[in-house]
């Protein structure tokens, strides 16, 4: 079970972990790619060109980190295969076109890397496919390109089905920017907030591996925790930037939504959890529909 970023030492760093440059099918050069994220106030970025390790180190700077990565893929399951974002690798895994998701994840891990399942909804990966593999730290619950390109960038259902099955992957938001036709409508809209000691690749990768991050397209989550109450029940509470909805999501329909009125805001919410719930995660949505996805917390039966 991954740790929580809230209350952990360090500071919040904002980063994009999936994007393409002219080294594969993006339109921005590696230098322009880094500059675009630095201009938007990010603290780190990875370039994940298809089967290419793009060296961004010449463009890193004081307080701005670059994380090595690549996007790799395989043709199974048919017909669309899978894509995996591989982070923290110093070499590419061997290319096996017929590889399945598990083989790809294993190959990334054999290099000491972190594997994230990219855009499962767009690729046609169901939760049944995702359950057949393990060892990946999470999946993209939000992929900006898949949203603005073809409307299939949200994978909250797949994520909840994995959680309901007892798995504990994290949800990540990434851009997967390609700057199609030179447009930047897929750059700067989905990111992770990582709790790390320093804007250094090793610290960021360690925090990702430990689950000390959350995902967002806008709102901030300041705190999220589960605590025992005086009644013996478990309570989840969250503090966030002004939002319209706070969803506490649990197995099936066991969670609850706390809603502000159309003209008012929520900056905190709490919920008594159903005794049968095995996990809880929080989703904070602002008045513009932008969302933050907190980490999932495992709930042992009857214990906080
Ligand atoms: Zn992809
Ligand atoms: Zn991609």
Q: Domains for the chain: give ranges and CATH numbers.
A: 11-216 (3.20.20.140), 221-298 (2.60.40)
Threshold 0.95, pTM exceeds: yes
Residue 304: pLDDT over 50:
no
Query: Residue 176: nearest ligand to its CA?
Result: 2
Q: Which of 197, 193, 177 has its CA nearest to residue 185?
A: 177
Q: What is the pLDDT of residues 21-39, one digit of tens each?
A: 999 999 999 999 999 999 9
Q: What is the pLDDT of residues 42-96, one digit of tens each?
A: 999 999 999 999 999 999 999 999 999 999 999 999 889 999 999 999 999 999 9
Structure confidence at residue 1 as a pLDDT band (50, 70, 90):
very low
Specify the pLDDT at position 118. 98
Per-residue pLDDT averaged across 237-254, rounded?
98
Specify the pLDDT at position 301. 59
Q: Which of 83, 77, 69 has its CA nearest to residue 111?
A: 69
Structure confidence at residue 303 as a pLDDT band (50, 70, 90):
very low
Specify the pLDDT at position 2. 59
Using the mean position of ligand 2's atoms as its centre, give its distance from the Cα of residue 18 in Å. 6
Specify the pLDDT at position 81. 96
Residue 155: pLDDT over 60:
yes
Which tokens hold the place of 49?
Answer: 């060109």
CB 237 within 8 A of CB 270: yes
Q: What is the pLDDT of residues 93-130, one digit of tens each?
A: 999 999 999 999 999 999 999 999 999 999 999 999 99
For the purposes of burial, counting CB atoms within 10 Å of the CB of 38, is it exposed (0-12), middle (13-18) or buried (19 or more)? Answer: middle
Residue 302: pLDDT over 70:
no
CB 139 within 8 A of CB 116: yes
Using the mean position of ligand 1's atoms as its centre, give its distance from the Cα of residue 58 in Å. 25
Residue 274: pLDDT over 50:
yes
Mean pLDDT, the chain, as a whole number? 96
Using the mean position of ligand 1's atoms as its centre, give its distance from the Cα of residue 136 in Å. 16
Using the mean position of ligand 2's atoms as its centre, give its distance from the Cα of residue 49 in Å. 7
Using the mean position of ligand 1's atoms as its centre, give its distance from the Cα of residue 143 in Å. 10
Using the mean position of ligand 1's atoms as its centre, give its distance from the Cα of residue 59 in Å. 24
Specify the pLDDT at position 3. 75
Query: Residue 119: nearest ligand to its CA?
Result: 1
Specify the pLDDT at position 263. 86
What are the start-end ranges of the E strands in 44-182? 44-46, 65-67, 69-74, 82-87, 114-117, 138-143, 170-174
Q: What is the pLDDT of residues 198-241, one digit of tens each?
A: 999 999 999 999 999 999 999 999 999 999 888 889 999 999 99
Using the mean position of ligand 2's atoms as its centre, give its distance from the Cα of residue 304 in Å. 38
Per-residue pLDDT averaged across 133-158, rounded?
98
Q: What is the pLDDT of residues 164-198, one digit of tens each?
A: 999 999 999 999 999 999 999 999 999 999 999 99
């Amino acid at each position: 079970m991954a740790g929580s970023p809230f209350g952990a030492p360090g500071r919040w760093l904002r980063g994009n972990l999936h994007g393409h440059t002219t080294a594969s099918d993006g339109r921005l050069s590696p230098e322009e790619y880094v500059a675009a994220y630095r201009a938007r106030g990010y603290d780190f970025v990875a370039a994940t060109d298809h089967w290419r390790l793009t060296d961004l180190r010449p463009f890193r700077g004081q307080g701005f980190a670059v994380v090595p990565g690549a996007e790799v893929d395989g043709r199974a399951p048919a017909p669309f295969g899978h894509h995996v974002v591989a982070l923290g690798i110093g070499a590419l895994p061997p290319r096996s076109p017929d590889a399945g998701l598990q083989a790809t994840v294993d190959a990334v891990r054999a290099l000491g890397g972190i594997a994230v399942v990219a855009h499962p909804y767009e690729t046609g990966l169901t939760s049944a496919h995702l359950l057949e593999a393990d060892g990946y730290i999470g999946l993209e619950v939000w992929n900006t390109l898949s949203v603005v390109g073809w409307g299939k960038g949200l994978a909250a259902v797949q994520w909840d089905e994995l959680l309901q099955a007892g798995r504990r992957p994290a949800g990540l938001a990434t851009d997967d920017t390609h700057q199609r036709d030179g447009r930047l409508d897929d750059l700067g809209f989905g990111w992770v907030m990582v709790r790390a000691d320093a804007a250094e690749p090793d610290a960021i990768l360690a925090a990702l591996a430990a689950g000390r991050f959350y995902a967002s397209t806008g709102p901030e989550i300041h705190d999220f925790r589960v605590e025992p109450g005086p009644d013996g029940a478990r309570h989840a509470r969250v503090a966030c930037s002004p939002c319209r909805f706070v969803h506490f999501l649990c197995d099936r329909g066991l969670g609850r939504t706390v809603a502000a009125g159309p003209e008012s805001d929520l900056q905190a919410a709490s919920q008594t959890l159903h005794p049968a719930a095995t996990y809880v995660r929080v989703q904070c949505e602002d008045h513009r529909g932008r969302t933050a996805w907190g980490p999932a917390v495992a709930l042992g039966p009857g214990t906080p």
